[in-house]
């Protein structure tokens, strides 16, 4: 079961000076703060240093802050950060074991997770003094877990791009255990939502919510890594385009046959073929990119595969063969194994098993349309 974390604000200002400062009684701005012991100092020495400030009685809320800082120091030393689960409390053990694990008995049961969540809430409202902010930031305080998750994903994306030369990762791509492909997929969805919101604003339409939309700052961070990270067309197409360009930049020839060149799991020759044959399905921008950057041209009519004939096309072609037989022989009493040769418009000789076809039409007379029956009757087909 995942531990609960303190609620955080997605877009919190990075400095309290950007917020309206409304001190609350909880901040106790006029009272001195206890110093933060170094992270490498043993807990017993930390407790001794902090004990100096206990000689003078402190208000309850200020004492709570002091205990929180002391617990945060120990937690940061043990874990390297202040990503404290919301339900975390200082372990309750006997004095000797507590000292051995770094937790003094005086902090047993202290709700550090709740304390950290409260600190984030005061920070987000602008109700925290500058010195307290400095204290926590020295310990590695995380003001927003959303921001942390973004930075971790961005770091992994940079690492993946450094290895592969682009940021067009497939969905299953990972970097040092981080699911970069999925992270980028979510980032693209957020970027598209932001773009849709901007379009609605430009058209004077209301925007229901900006939640989940990618900020300009984060989009800029990704574009600094790869300007083509979020194309308007499928990512798979853009990835193959980029890999072909890298192939050409290396001084290699344009691959034109399937299986010629494989890069990062992509068959570049097959992709080039699909681009040439599907040229009319590309956008104008894609056509320009392929022609001007890669030197790819659309396939000629001779290079395009012949389209598969429909059943209606086949029936009409056999009718032409039947008409040719009738005009030559004067009847349509075709031997069952007879094959009729018809010269097509482009000079090709097409052969039709006319005898079998005529017999099939006669046996299927009840299923034929009246139009087809009339056409067959005109070329001499006897139904009985």
* Dihedral sign (CA 376, 380, 381, 384): positive
Q: Count CB atoms within 10 A of the CB of residue 107.
A: 20
| Whole-number pLDDT of residue 53 | 40
Which residues in the chain come in under a pLDDT of 70?
1-60, 93-101
268-276: long-range contacts at Cβ-Cβ below 8 A with a sequence spacing of 24 or more? 268/240, 268/243, 268/244, 271/237, 271/240, 271/241, 271/244, 272/244, 272/296, 276/303
| 189: nearest Cα among 218, 162, 160 | 218
d(CA 107, CA 222): 44
Q: What is the pLDDT of residue 99?
A: 53
Angle at 293 between CA 289 and CA 297, to 5 degrees: 75
pLDDT of residue 38: 45
* Whole-Å CA distances, 215 to 10, 15, 83, 169, 221: 11, 18, 24, 21, 10
Query: CA-CA distance, 161 to 153, in Å (whole number)?
Result: 12
Give tens-digit pLDDT for 154-182. Answer: 989 999 999 999 999 999 999 988 899 99
pLDDT digits (tens, 9 = 90+) for 123-162: 888 888 888 988 888 888 878 778 878 888 898 999 999 9
Could you give the CA distance from residue 24 to residue 373 in angstroms, rounded to a whole number?
A: 94
Which residue is associated with the tokens 């005109």?
Answer: 378
Proportion of the chain above pLDDT 90, given as a percent: 44
Whether the model clears a pTM of 0.95, i.e. scores above it, the answer is no
């Amino acid at each position: 079961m995942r531990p609960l974390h303190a609620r955080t604000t997605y877009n919190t200002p990075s400095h309290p000076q950007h917020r309206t400062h409304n001190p609350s009684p909880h901040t106790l701005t006029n009272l001195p703060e206890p110093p933060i012991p170094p992270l490498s100092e043993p807990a017993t020495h930390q407790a001794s240093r902090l004990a100096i400030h206990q000689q003078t009685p402190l208000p309850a809320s200020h004492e709570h802050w002091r205990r929180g800082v002391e617990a945060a120091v120990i937690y940061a030393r043990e874990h390297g950060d202040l990503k404290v689960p919301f339900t975390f409390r200082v372990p309750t053990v006997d004095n000797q074991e507590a000292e051995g694990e770094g937790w003094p008995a005086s902090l047993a049961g202290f709700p550090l997770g709740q304390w950290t969540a409260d600190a984030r809430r005061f920070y987000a409202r602008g109700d925290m003094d500058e010195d307290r902010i400095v204290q926590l930031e020295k310990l590695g305080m995380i003001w927003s877990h959303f921001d942390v998750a973004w930075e971790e994903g961005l770091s992994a994306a940079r690492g993946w791009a450094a290895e592969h030369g682009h940021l067009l990762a497939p969905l299953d791509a990972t970097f040092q255990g981080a699911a970069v492909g999925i992270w980028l997929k979510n980032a693209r969805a957020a970027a598209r939502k932001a773009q849709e919101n901007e379009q609605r604003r430009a058209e004077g339409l209301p925007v229901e919510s900006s939640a989940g939309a990618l900020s300009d700052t984060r989009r800029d961070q990704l574009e600094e890594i790869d300007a083509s990270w979020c194309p308007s067309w499928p990512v798979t197409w853009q990835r193959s385009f980029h890999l072909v360009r890298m192939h050409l930049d290396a001084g290699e020839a344009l691959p034109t046959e399937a299986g010629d060149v494989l890069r990062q799991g992509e068959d570049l020759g097959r992709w080039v073929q699909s681009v040439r044959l599907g040229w009319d399905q590309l956008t104008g921008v894609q056509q320009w990119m392929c022609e001007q950057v890669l030197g790819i041209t659309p396939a000629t009519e001779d290079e395009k595969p012949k389209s598969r004939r429909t059943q209606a096309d086949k029936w009409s072609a056999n009718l032409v063969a039947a008409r040719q037989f009738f005009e030559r022989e004067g009847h349509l009493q075709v031997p069952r194994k007879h094959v009729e040769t018809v010269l097509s418009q482009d000079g090709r000789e097409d052969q039709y098993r006319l005898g079998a076809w005529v017999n099939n039409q006669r046996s299927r007379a009840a299923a034929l349309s009246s139009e087809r029956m009339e056409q067959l009757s005109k070329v001499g087909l006897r139904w009985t």
